[in-house]
Structure 1
Amino acid sequence: MNKSTVIDFLNVTRAEIDKEALWGFAIDHPKKGNQAKTYTIEISGWVLGKKSKVVAVEVLSEGRVLGQVPVNIERLGVSKLYPEVSWAKRCGFNIEVGVIGLPLQGEVRIRAVLENRSTVLLGIIHYHRQPLHSNYQAKLQPLVFTSSGRSGTTWLMRIFSEHPSIIASEFYPYEFRVSQYWIQMLNILSQPRNPDKFQGTYFYQEFQSIGPNPYHGKLNGHAAHDWLGRDYPEQFADFCRHSIDNLYEYMGRNQGKIVSELSHNTDSQHQQFYFVEKFLPNPHRKLLLEVYPQAKEIVLVRDFRDICCSALAFNTKRGYMSFGRQRVDNDIDYIKTTIKNTAANLLEIWRERKEEAHLVRYEDLILAPEQTLSDIFVYLNLDNSSSTISKILEKASKDTPKLKRHRTTDSPEESIGRWQKDLEPSLQALSTEVCKEALQEFGYSLTGEEKLSPLPKITKPEVKSEPSLKPTNSNLVKSTESARNKLEQMKSKIQNIKESLEKS
C-alpha cells in the first residue's frame, strides 16, 4: 500500500446465486487488487429479482447496515438478456459507504432487498485500510475506561478524578462523555450520503440537525470528491481532537490541574496528562482508539454473577428496572441475554486488546487497592508513589449521600461473592454456565470456593510518540512571536556593530 492509497481490496467474493430469488447479478466494482484513495468504498453492479423485484441494495459491516440505495439505474445490456422481465431495464445500483470506524482489516457484505422484504447475499468485499490520520498533536491522551454497569466504575472514576494528572468529571456519577460526542460527530459528518435520500429543500426546512455531506456522492469523478473523501475527514479529526483538548484543559484548570505542553520524552512522568471517560463496547470506543493511537485503556471486570446481583438490587432500591432488565420478562432471560452478552463482549475486547490495555478486577481494587492502583499508574506512566496513592484514596473515600444511595451492600467487601447468597441455586448454575468462559479467563472460581487466580503478566509493546505538530493557528502565533524576538535580537546586534565601527 503506497502513501496515496487508503484502501486495498484484497478480494471480492461473489455469493452463489439464489436461483429461486434471482435471475442474476454482478458486482462490477470494486475488483480484487483495486485501490481507493479515499476513506470510502464505492460499489456498483446490477441485480435482477425473479418472483419478487429487488428494490434496494444494502452494505453491512459486522451486522450493521452502513448504507442502502434503491436499485433503479438503467442497465440496457441486462434488459437485452432478460427482455421478458419488465424491471430489467433499471436494475443497476451504485453505493458509496465510509470505512471510518470500521476494522482496519475486515469485510463488508452486499445484499439485495426484495419487494417481499426478504434479503439475498450478493457478495463479500475483503479490504485492508489505513487508520484515519490526524496531524493535530494532542496535549492530553485518552484513558479509555471500558467496562459495564455495576462493575465498580463509579468508584474507580472517583479515584481517577483525584489524580493530579488525570482530568475527569468531579461530580457523581462521573458520566461526562464529551469526547464521545465529538467522535460521533466525526463518524457521522465524515460519511458519504446517498444522494437519493437528500431533498433539494433540506436546507430550507431542516434547522435542528445535520448529517453526512449530501453532495459527496454527486461529485464522483471530480477532484473535490477525493478532497471530501480523504482530506476533509482528516481535517475534521484534527478539529475534534483540538476541541477535546480545549474543553478538558479548561476543566483541568478549574480543578487546579494545569496541562503542560506534551513532552516527546516518554519517560517524563510529570508532563503526561489524560482525560478519562467511561466506555461501553461500542463503535465510539473503536474510533477513538483509532484517532488516538497513543491512548491507554483500562478494562475493568467483575464477577459477572455479582454484577447480576448488584443490578437487580439497585433496580429494587430505586424502584424501577434498568441495566437491561427492563427489556425482558424475568431474571432467567436477563441472565441469558444481558449478563451473558456483557461477559462475552468484555472477554472479546480483552482478547483483542490485551497487549495494549490493562486489566483490572473489581475484587482486587477493593481488597488490595494500593497495589492495584500502583499497577494502574505504572501502566499509565504516572506517579505511583505510596504518598500519592494514599492521598488519592483518602480524598476518594469521603462519603456523600449520592454514593450511599449508589451502594447495595453495607460495605464493598460484602459485595464480593454475593451471588452465592443472593441468587437462588438455579440462577447460580445458569449464570455460571453462560459466563463460564469469561469467568475462567479472568481468574474467577466457578464454584466460589477457590480464591482469585493471579492475572497473567503481559509485556506491553513500546508506544511511539506522536509525529511533530503540524502548524495550527496557535502554533503559528508562537512561531511568529519567536521569529519577531530573534529579529529584534539581530537588529540589536547589528546596531552594536554599527556603533563600534563608528567609534573606531
Structure 2
Amino acid sequence: MDKVFILGNPRSGTSLFRLMLNSHSMINATPECGFLHWWYKKYADWDLSCVTSNRLDEYISDLESSKRIEDWKMDYAQLKEKIVQKNPDNYAKLGEIVYVFYGEQKGKKAKVIADKNNYYINHIDDLNEIWPDAKYILVVRDGRDVACSYLNMETLVTNSPYKPILSTDIKTIANEWTTNNQNILNFSESLHENQFMAIRYEDFVTDSELYLTKVCNFLGLNFEPEMLNYFIKNAKEQDEPLSSIDWKKKTLEKPDKDNIGKYKMEFEKESIDAFNTTANELLKKFNYEI
C-alpha cells in the first residue's frame, strides 16, 4: 500500500486537493485527523505480542479519543477484529490497517493512502520515521491570497469547535507562510526525487485535468475524470465532514478561478507591500508576481 502526505500552509487549498484525490477510485484520502502521529511515541514499540495483550484495547481506546476521529464514523469493534486478524508486528503496519479499514467501510479498496493535515508541517520527521517510503505533495498558494483567507476567517460564524485560530497581522501571516513552506522544501531535500512534488493551487484550479494527471503519474496511477467532479461527490457523501464545512464551502463548488489574485481587490497597497517585503524570495521561487 503506497502512502502520500498532503502538506501545505493553512488556507492553501489542501482540503480541496484532498477531495479531488479522494474522488479517484484507487486513492483513499481520509478526512483530517492526526492520530498516526499523536500515538506514535506511545506505541512505537508495537510488536506481535501487543495483539494478545491489553495493549490492543488501550490502543483502540486512545484511537477513539483522537481529535476529529469521530468524523471517520468507524466501527471500533470491527476494527479491533481486523487488527487481530492482520496481527501487525510494528506501528507502521498498525496505522496502515486503520486507514485501510476506514476506506473499506466506505466501500473503497484503494492502492494509495492519502493523509492531509496542516498540523504535520511541524512533525514531518516523525512521519518519515513511521513510513520512510511515503511520498509528499506540497500544495502552495499565493501567500497574499492566503492572507485574505486568514482575515476572512475572523468574521466566520460557526458552532464548530475546530474553527482555526489564525493571525490577522499581515507581517505575521507572511512570516508563517514563508516559514511553513520553506520547512517543507527543506525536508524535501532529504527525499528521493520520486518521493516529493510541489503543486500550486492556482495551477490545479485553472487546469485541473492537466495537473491532476501529473499528480496521478507521481502516484503511479492513471487520471480518472471523476476527480473533476469532486464537488458532486462531496455534496452527496459529505466527504468534507460537517465539523469543518463552514469554512470549506468552496469544496462544494467547481474550482473558482475568480478566487485567484483576490488580494489585489481586498488589500491596500501598504498591506501588499508589507507581505511582499517579508516573503519576497519565496514568492518569486514559486513564480508569483511581485
With the length of structure 2 as denominator, give the TM-score of the two structures.
0.71
Q: Cα distance, 1:395 vs. partner?
A: 4.0
Contact map agreement 2:121 2:180 (CA 8 A) in 1 = no
Q: 4+ residue runs of structure 1 moved beyond 6 angstroms?
A: none
Q: Which residue matches 1:295?
A: 134
Q: Which residue matches 2:2?
A: 141
CA 1:160 to 1:177, structure 2 compared with 1: closer, same or farther past 3 Å? Answer: farther
1:433 aligns with 2:284: no
Q: Secondary structure at the match of 2:3?
A: strand
Contact map agreement 1:183 1:284 (CA 8 A) in 2 = no
Mapping 1:153-232, distance limit 5 Å:
153-169=14-30, 174-186=31-43
Unpaired runs of 5+ in structure 1?
1-139, 191-207, 210-236, 260-271, 326-330, 447-504
Report the structure, 1 or 2, having the larger helix content: 2
Q: Cα distance, 1:184 vs. partner?
A: 4.5
1:396 aligns with 2:231: yes
CA 1:398 to 1:161, structure 2 compared with 1: closer, same or farther past 3 Å? Answer: closer
Amino acid at match of 1:252: G
2:180 to 345, 356, 378: 345
Mapping 1:5-404, distance limit 5 Å:
140-169=1-30, 174-186=31-43, 238-258=89-109, 272-280=111-119, 282-318=121-157, 322-325=164-167, 331=168, 334-353=169-188, 355=193, 356-384=195-223, 388=224, 390-397=225-232, 400=235, 403=245
1:356-381 superposed Cα distances (whole Å, 9 cap, x missing partner): 31101000011010011001111111
Q: Cα distance, 1:281 vs. partner?
A: 5.0
Q: Which residue matches 1:421?
A: 265
C-alpha distance in structure 2 between counterparts of 1:239 and 1:290, whole Å: 12
CA 1:405 to 1:323, structure 2 compared with 1: closer, same or farther past 3 Å? Answer: closer
C-alpha distance in structure 1 between counterparts of 2:151 and 2:286, whole Å: 23
Identity within the alignment, %: 23
Q: Cα distance, 1:318 vs. partner?
A: 2.6
CA 1:357 to 1:182, structure 2 compared with 1: closer, same or farther past 3 Å? Answer: same
Q: Secondary structure at the match of 2:90?
A: helix
Contact map agreement 1:315 1:322 (CA 8 A) in 2 = no
Q: Secondary structure at the match of 2:115?
A: strand
C-alpha distance in structure 2 between counterparts of 1:425 and 1:279, whole Å: 29
Q: Cα distance, 1:423 vs. partner?
A: 0.9
Q: Cα distance, 1:335 vs. partner?
A: 2.2
Which structure is higher in RCO with an 8 Å CA cutoff and minimum separation 6? 2
1:178-227 superposed Cα distances (whole Å, 9 cap, x missing partner): 3223334357x89xxxxxxxxxxxxxxxxx99xxxxxxxxxxxxxxxxxx
1:459-496 superposed Cα distances (whole Å, 9 cap, x missing partner): xxxxxxxxxxxxxxxxxxxxxxxxxxxxxxxxxxxxxx
With the length of structure 1 as denominator, give the TM-score of the two structures.
0.42
Contact map agreement 2:28 2:114 (CA 8 A) in 1 = yes
Amino acid at match of 1:418: K
Q: Cα distance, 1:154 vs. partner?
A: 1.3
Contact map agreement 1:248 1:275 (CA 8 A) in 2 = no
Report the structure, 1 or 2, having the larger strand content: 1
Amino acid at match of 2:94: S
CA 1:166 to 1:285, structure 2 compared with 1: closer, same or farther past 3 Å? Answer: same
Unpaired runs of 5+ in structure 2?
47-60, 63-87
Q: Cα distance, 1:254 vs. partner?
A: 1.6
1:91-114 superposed Cα distances (whole Å, 9 cap, x missing partner): xxxxxxxxxxxxxxxxxxxxxxxx
Q: Secondary structure at the match of 1:360?
A: strand
Which is greater in Rg? 1
1:9-38 superposed Cα distances (whole Å, 9 cap, x missing partner): xxxxxxxxxxxxxxxxxxxxxxxxxxxxxx
CA 1:399 to 1:274, structure 2 compared with 1: closer, same or farther past 3 Å? Answer: closer
Contact map agreement 2:143 2:283 (CA 8 A) in 1 = yes
Q: Cα distance, 1:315 vs. partner?
A: 2.0
Amino acid at match of 1:379: F
Q: Cα distance, 1:145 vs. partner?
A: 0.8
Q: Cα distance, 1:344 vs. partner?
A: 2.4
Amino acid at match of 1:363: E
Contact map agreement 2:6 2:114 (CA 8 A) in 1 = no
1:420-461 superposed Cα distances (whole Å, 9 cap, x missing partner): 111111111101111111101111111xxxxxxxxxxxxxxx
C-alpha distance in structure 2 between counterparts of 1:182 and 1:239, whole Å: 13
C-alpha distance in structure 2 between counterparts of 1:319 and 1:407, whole Å: 12
Q: Cα distance, 1:239 vs. partner?
A: 2.9
